[in-house]
């Protein structure tokens, strides 16, 4: 069992007759925030993706919402009060007054303090919480929030360009209704913040596919599988440089299939970090747009309530292309490879195509190496079938939505109705951790000891030569424009 077999990479297909209700969350303010000159993380890419998505006409197929930004109180369902207080108060102007806190909460180079930092974090959190709430209420089958997916943020610490862990907040909301939630992470970096938050519970299984070995954040080894009740409920797929479409598919699909069979989640959250694409400024994988999107299409094929989030992605034009293509797939549409005119059309030259091509880089993931990973993961998963503490019999059906669509749209525009609704209608017993009003309990989520299974090497997500390379790229781009 568990032998790696390279599958052919077939063209992606959709079923245009399948009707999914897709709720897409976008706040037009998000593109206005900036981490600072030259910083690789650019929230502008979310606005670029949005413009492309709209100009492909996808607004006709899905419901578009602007979520209410997450409140401090909502953020503290996972984060500590003092950390959130700090995020709310610190600005570039008063930074000097917080020299102790800067170290304590890890803000600085990777995670700079910039104007509107708190509002930016609140937008990403609001979209994921509201998306989860709408899934809980059965008001959509798929919720999309590309401003979310900020998987490195810790309970009391910023990390890897992430301040607020919108994913953990979204999953906490899903756990109000869902006995078991599966989190899948296809960012090139390990999904450490989400893994750590749920490391001791069997109600969330985390599964991260990432580059491992002298790479940020340094965690996510094959042998890190969770502790206590959470043992065997963290899955790590440590990969080497240069993985291509067929190889990624051939490891991703069997692992996800096996998890679906054994763990039987009732909801799934997919973090779609775009730094696993070929040509990413920080990444080192070799996925084309189709190799990345195949993961989205495959997870969608299980037909369980699904939340789709953004994440990393540092070559903006490729991230926006990919999230657009994937939004098409989620709406059962294969988009025209010719890009429509959009607000940022000039970014997509010289080809103006909806494509991200692989390079000829070496794939350092051998079939022997991948076989070893696969057989270890399969053998670990055999321990998960009977362990979930909430039995399948107790799974509540999602409440049916008897409201009309017009009313739904109106209330979704300006309320956090889902969350309130969920609070008033908790039907899953709060059997271990989750009671949003009981701060102490929910804090226990990530109170397991770091260190033994989670060495946290000090490492920067921005490699030392990044700024030099970025400057050289700029020169090259200017030269190309001139010629």
Would you say 187 is a known binding-site residue?
yes
Using the rule CB under 5 A, give the single segment among 31-39, 196-204, 265-273, 403-411 that binds Zn ion: 265-273
Q: What is the DSSP string of 48-101?
A: HHHHHHHHTTGGGTSEEE-PPPPPHHHHTTTS-HHHHHHHHH--TTTGGGGHHH
Query: Contact with Zn ion (CB under 5 A): which of 79, 154, 189, 454?
Result: 189
CB of 283 to Zn ion, least distance (A): 7
Would you say 349 is a known binding-site residue?
no
Question: Which residues between 10 and 69 bind Zn ion (CB under 5 A)?
Answer: none
For the chain, give the longest Cα–Cα distance.
Answer: 67
Using the rule CB under 5 A, give the single segment among 38-46, 66-74, 184-192, 252-260 that binds Zn ion: 184-192
- Per CB under 5 A, does 211 bind Zn ion? no
Closest CB to Zn ion among 11 and 464? 464
Rg of the chain's alpha carbons, rounded to an integer? Answer: 21
Using the rule CB under 5 A, give the single segment among 35-43, 72-80, 251-259, 311-319 that binds Zn ion: 311-319
Closest CB to Zn ion among 74 and 187? 187
Query: Contact with Zn ion (CB under 5 A): which of 187, 202, 245, 326?
Result: 187
Question: Which residues between 269 and 308 bind Zn ion (CB under 5 A)?
Answer: 273, 275
Would you say 166 is a known binding-site residue?
no
Using the rule CB under 5 A, give the single segment among 7-15, 180-188, 359-367, 465-473 that binds Zn ion: 180-188
- Residue 260 belongs to what H/E stretch? helix 245-263
CB of 102 to Zn ion, least distance (A): 23
Distance between CA atoms of 147 and 311, rounded to whole angstroms? 8
CB of 334 to Zn ion, least distance (A): 27
CB of 275 to Zn ion, least distance (A): 4
- Determine if the peptide bond prior to 350 is cis (ω within 30°): yes
3-state helix, strand, coil in the chain (%, to 5): 40, 10, 50
Catalytic residues: 152
Closest CB to Zn ion among 69 and 283? 283
Which string of b and e fits 159-190 if b means at least 16 CB within 10 Å?
bbbbbbbbbbbbbbbbbbbbbbbbbbbbbbbb
Closest CB to Zn ion among 90 and 150? 150
CB of 120 to Zn ion, least distance (A): 17
Query: Contact with Zn ion (CB under 5 A): which of 312, 358, 388, 436?
Result: 312
Using the rule CB under 5 A, give the single segment among 93-101, 110-118, 182-190, 387-395 that binds Zn ion: 182-190
Closest CB to Zn ion among 186 and 204? 186
Identify the DSSP state of 43. Answer: T
> Which residues fall within 8 angstroms of residue 127, CB to CB, at 6 or more apart?
25, 26, 27, 67, 145, 147, 148, 166
Would you say 314 is a known binding-site residue?
yes
Dihedral sign (CA 319, 334, 58, 355) = positive
Closest CB to Zn ion among 179 and 217? 217
Q: What are phi and psi of 54, to 5 degrees?
A: -65, -45
In this structure, are residues 335 and 53 in contact, taking their beta carbons and an 8 Å threshold?
no
**Strands of the sheet with 234-239, listed across from one edge:** 63-65, 22-25, 142-145, 306-309, 267-271, 181-185, 204-211, 234-239
Token pair, residue 209, equals: 């596919």
Would you say 110 is a known binding-site residue?
yes
E strand spans, 129-169: 142-145
- Which segments are annotated as binding site for substrate? 110, 160, 314
- Which segments are annotated as binding site? 110, 160, 187, 189, 275, 314
Which stretches of the chain bind Zn ion, using CB under 5 A?
187, 189, 273, 275, 312
- Which segments are annotated as binding site for a divalent metal cation? 187, 189, 275
């Amino acid at each position: 069992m568990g032998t790696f077999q390279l599958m052919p990479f077939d063209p992606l297909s959709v079923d245009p007759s399948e009707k999914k209700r897709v709720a897409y969350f976008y706040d037009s303010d998000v593109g206005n925030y900036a981490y600072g000159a030259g910083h690789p993380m650019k929230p502008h890419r979310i606005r670029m993706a949005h413009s492309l998505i709209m100009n492909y006409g996808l607004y006709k197929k899905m419901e578009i919402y602007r979520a209410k930004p997450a409140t401090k109180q909502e953020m503290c369902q996972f984060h500590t009060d003092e950390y959130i207080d700090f995020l709310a108060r610190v600005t570039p102007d008063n930074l000097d007054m917080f020299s102790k806190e800067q170290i304590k909460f890890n803000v600085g180079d990777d995670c700079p303090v910039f104007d509107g930092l708190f509002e930016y974090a609140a937008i990403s959190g609001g979209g994921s919480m509201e998306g989860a709430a709408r899934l809980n209420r059965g008001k959509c089958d798929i919720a999309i929030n590309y401003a979310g997916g900020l998987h490195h943020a810790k309970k009391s610490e910023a990390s890897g360009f992430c301040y607020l862990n919108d994913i953990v907040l979204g999953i906490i909301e899903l756990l109000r209704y869902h006995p078991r939630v599966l989190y899948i992470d296809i960012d090139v970096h390990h999904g450490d913040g989400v893994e750590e938050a749920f490391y001791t519970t069997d109600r969330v299984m985390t599964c991260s596919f990432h580059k491992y070995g002298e790479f940020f954040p340094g965690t996510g080894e094959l042998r890190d599988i969770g502790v206590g009740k959470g043992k065997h409920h963290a899955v790590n797929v440590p990969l080497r440089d240069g993985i291509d479409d067929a190889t990624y598919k051939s490891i991703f699909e069997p692992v996800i299939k096996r998890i679906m069979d054994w763990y039987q989640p009732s909801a799934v959250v997919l973090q779609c970090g775009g730094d696993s694409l070929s040509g990413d400024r920080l990444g080192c994988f070799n996925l084309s747009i189709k190799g990345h999107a195949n993961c989205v299409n495959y997870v969608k094929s299980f037909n369980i309530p699904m939340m789709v989030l953004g994440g990393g992605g540092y070559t903006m034009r490729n991230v926006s292309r990919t999230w657009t293509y994937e939004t098409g797939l989620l709406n059962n549409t294969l988009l025209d490879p010719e890009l429509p005119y959009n607000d940022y059309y000039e970014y997509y030259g010289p080809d103006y195509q909806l494509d991200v091509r692989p390079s000829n880089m070496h794939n350092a993931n051998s079939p022997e190496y991948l076989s070893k990973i696969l057989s270890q993961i399969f053998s670990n998963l055999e321990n998960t079938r009977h362990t979930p503490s909430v039995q399948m019999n107790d799974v509540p059906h999602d409440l049916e939505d008897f409201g009309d669509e017009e009313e739904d749209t109106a209330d979704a525009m300006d309320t956090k109705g889902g969350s309130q609704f969920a609070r008033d209608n908790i039907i899953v017993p709060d059997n271990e951790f989750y009671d949003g009003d009981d701060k102490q309990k929910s804090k226990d989520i990530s109170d397991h000891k770091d260190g033994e299974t989670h060495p946290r090497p000090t490492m920067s997500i921005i490699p030392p030569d990044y700024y030099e390379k970025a400057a050289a790229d700029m020169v090259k781009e200017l030269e190309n424009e001139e010629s």
